[in-house]
Structure 1
Amino acid sequence: MLGAGLALACAGGGDAPTKASEPSRASDADSGLALDDGCNGHPLLCDRRVQDVTFPGTHNSMSNADAGWLAPNQQHGLSQQLEDGIRGLMLDTYLWEGDLFLCHASCSLGAQPLSEGLAEIADFLDAHPREVVQIIFEDAISLEDTRAAIDAADLGRRLYVWSESSEATLRALIEAETTLIVGLESGAADGQGLHGAWDLWTDTPYSFADASEFSCAPNRGDDTNALFLVNHWIGNPLPNAPVSREVNAEAVLLERARACADERGRPVNFLGVDFYNEGDLFSVVRQLNGLPEPG
């Protein structure tokens, strides 16, 4: 089990992101990336504030069929999700049999060591320095163990510290190498990049038996919070790909996302779905971001 006494690493943040002193790393030029090669996949997103960008996301991101989880929410694991374009992750953390795991409800249904899951995220961010990722943890472990696990994966230096007045753009986070935004549903926070989730995000309800029940009503977090999460999945009674294909179809998903943006008076920043590979999530997010169709 990770100890609670491990030292906390400093993280950058605020309107002008900064980070702790560390060994120099390869520049964008060294890695073959030009400064204006794009941000989260497109140059038009670079100078938008984070709260003006929609991120495609997954619900119970660790729970996946490829790894043999029972009643999975996704087809593929974390690395494949990120490579496919997912930029928002919902992860559940547990202490099980003396160690830290990513699980959902019961670790007997499926489990991945937390260290392994975080290493996948770190590897992706190292390989793709112009991508910004949001993570919301449903954390059933201590703040100290969460922080220690993040630092052990060398993700602490990537944490963006959000201030109440933050106007930071994707470009600003990328240039400061603080490309990871993290919230904890427990409400725990450390002032160094681990935020209380419902101090930073607000969301919609998340328990729906069928699409007719979808709602944009305020749920958790104050409506003045910086970021807006739309929960868009059906559990009837378990997640499944055919139902996800129906509700992730553009006619349903785009209509609901736009309705929620209108009703709540703000852009959708994290659009979370089950079985992201079914339906039209990426096309919907492109349209919400006002980006042209790929050539």
Structure 2
Amino acid sequence: MSVAQARPAADPPGGAVIIVSVPNGRVVDLDGGGVNDGQEIQEWPGNGSTAQQWQVVRDGAQYRIKLSGNQAWCVGRDQARVVLRSCSNALTTWDFEDLGGRFRIKAPGGGYLQVVTTSPSNGRGLAIAAGSGAAAEWLVNAAEVPRRAMPADPRLDQVTFLTSHNAMANTDEGFWGRFPNQSYRLKDQLAQGVRGLQIDAYASNGDVKMCHGSCWGNERTLTAGLQDTVDFLNANREAIVTVFIEDYTSVEELRAAVARVNGFADRVFNPAQAGVRQNGWPKVSELIAQNRRLLVFSQRSGRDAYGVMFDRDWTAENYWSLGSGGGDVQCYSRWDEVPLAKEEPGFRRLHSMNHYRDVPSEASAGTDNGSKLADRVRRVCGPVAGRKPNYVALDFYQKPEGGAVRNLIADLNTYW
């Protein structure tokens, strides 16, 4: 949309919001959180802090972007720089141009609030510049994900699935002493309600095995793991399962492993063949009726012909690590070219939220998978993506005791 086509916005969302760059997924952040005149406004990954929460308030025909935690201070201008200023300063008024869900934020004297380049850079200052392209487009998202009632017959992109990280690295199937991520074998994970499996696949000794980091020799084959999944689907006609492959194989190596899975081709859903990009994701009931209840994504391209889709074409996924201490809750895309809120006309990506540490343990999962997870969904990853996750990927998903994870998934499936 050109500048001439832009129309005055209906008021942006009320209450606390975060302002997210459309092309790079970083958010408007007050440098260091300090409330000082001239403090630089920068781009940073969303972290749920008060330094990233603003309130857009109408002031006559224009708007001010107030710091939610101290509304005497606003996003303002210092020539081409974007800085904090007293809201009484004339250089804190803005025009919002509505692009249909996105906004350009214009300085009344000319120029647009924008990122310096569309590639993300933590801590880089924002700018006022004449260009009105992608770098000047913003999402204004509520600081907590709004809740819309779940339809009686939801689409796939409206529901949420419990997902196990490194599902194959479990103690039941021989990963003792090698930093296992799960306790139960694949069959039992599925039986206990897991509906997303993150699996690493390596070519090893003429086969494809489910290894972690490297193959030691006693790992199960990917064919066996996928057969467990297909057998489960055949025995549970209402279930939908997604497999995410961290893929270290060639196209032909993976093709051969998949071809040995009895019934794989009958169950796999191919979104490209189904016209998902043009028509959106099907309803859950449609997948069940078609008996196409297995989705498989690979981190490598070129596998679509046999139903294994390139994840960057169909999903958005946050960077995986909570850090070694579990305190790094910021949320940004694993892939710079696919911001978490990326949308294409008529199509919404499946949003996969990773929530685990560099080094797994049951004790740390007990800490991470409770209120920290629920808060990160609600106040960090959800607002950055503009919606709840479709997959919540965890280590030791059964932790903490008492069912906190199951309760969270159940709650997420009451709204979209």
TM-score, reference length from structure 2: 0.56
Q: Return the structure number with greater strand share.
A: 2
1:253 partnered with 2:367 = no
Match of 1:193 among 290, 307, 328: 307
Larger radius of gyration: 2
> Does structure 1 retain, via aligned residues, the 8 Å contact 2:207–2:257?
no
Matches of 1:73 and 1:283, distance apart in 2: 21
Structure 2 letter corresponding to 1:65: T
Residues 219-228 or 282-291, more deviating: 219-228
Match of 2:204 among 90, 96, 105: 96
Matches of 2:217 and 2:364, distance apart in 1: 21
> Does structure 2 retain, via aligned residues, the 8 Å contact 1:74–1:274?
yes
Instruction: Using the aligned pairs only, state the percent identity.
Output: 29
Aligned to 1:160: 269
Residue-by-residue CA offset, 1:40-90 (whole Å, 9 max, x unaligned): xxxx78711111111100111100011221211000111000000000111
> Does structure 1 retain, via aligned residues, the 8 Å contact 2:267–2:293?
yes
1:51 partnered with 2:174 = no
Q: Return the structure number with greater helix share.
A: 1
1:98 deviates by 2.0
> Does structure 2 retain, via aligned residues, the 8 Å contact 1:183–1:196?
yes
1:289 partnered with 2:413 = yes
Residues 79-88 or 271-280, more deviating: 271-280
Matches of 1:109 and 1:264, distance apart in 2: 40
Structure 1 letter corresponding to 2:267: R
Q: Compared with structure 1, are the counterparts of its residues 45 and 82 closer, same or farther at alpha carbon in structure 2 (3 Å cutoff)?
A: farther
Q: What's the Cα RMSD here?
A: 1.8
In structure 2, runs of 5+ residues without a counterpart are: 1-149
Match of 1:173 among 278, 287, 308: 287
Partner SS state of residue 62, structure 1 = coil
Aligned to 1:209: 324
> Does structure 1 retain, via aligned residues, the 8 Å contact 2:207–2:253?
no
Q: Compared with structure 1, are the counterparts of its residues 273 and 161 closer, same or farther at alpha carbon in structure 2 (3 Å cutoff)?
A: same
Q: Compared with structure 1, are the counterparts of its residues 284 and 109 closer, same or farther at alpha carbon in structure 2 (3 Å cutoff)?
A: farther
Aligned to 2:12: none
> Does structure 2 retain, via aligned residues, the 8 Å contact 1:101–1:113?
yes
1:218-237 pair list within 5 angstroms: 218-220=333-335, 222=338, 223-224=342-343, 226-235=349-358
Aligned to 2:247: 139
1:84 partnered with 2:192 = yes
Matches of 2:294 and 2:398, distance apart in 1: 23
Q: Compared with structure 1, are the counterparts of its residues 189 and 98 closer, same or farther at alpha carbon in structure 2 (3 Å cutoff)?
A: closer
Partner SS state of residue 112, structure 1 = coil
Structure 2 letter corresponding to 1:247: D
Matches of 2:399 and 2:186, distance apart in 1: 16
TM-score, reference length from structure 1: 0.78
Structure 2 letter corresponding to 1:113: T
Residues 221-230 or 53-62, more deviating: 221-230
> Does structure 2 retain, via aligned residues, the 8 Å contact 1:46–1:169?
no
1:268 partnered with 2:389 = yes
Matches of 1:192 and 1:66, distance apart in 2: 30
1:192 deviates by 4.9
Partner SS state of residue 188, structure 1 = coil
Residue-by-residue CA offset, 1:133-170 (whole Å, 9 max, x unaligned): 11110111122332332232121211111121323011
Structure 1 letter corresponding to 2:241: V
Match of 1:148 among 256, 265, 268: 256
Partner SS state of residue 216, structure 2 = helix
Aligned length: 245
Matches of 1:180 and 1:282, distance apart in 2: 22
Partner SS state of residue 277, structure 2 = coil
Matches of 2:151 and 2:291, distance apart in 1: 16
Task: Extract structure 1 runs of 4+ deviating beyond 4 A.
Answer: none
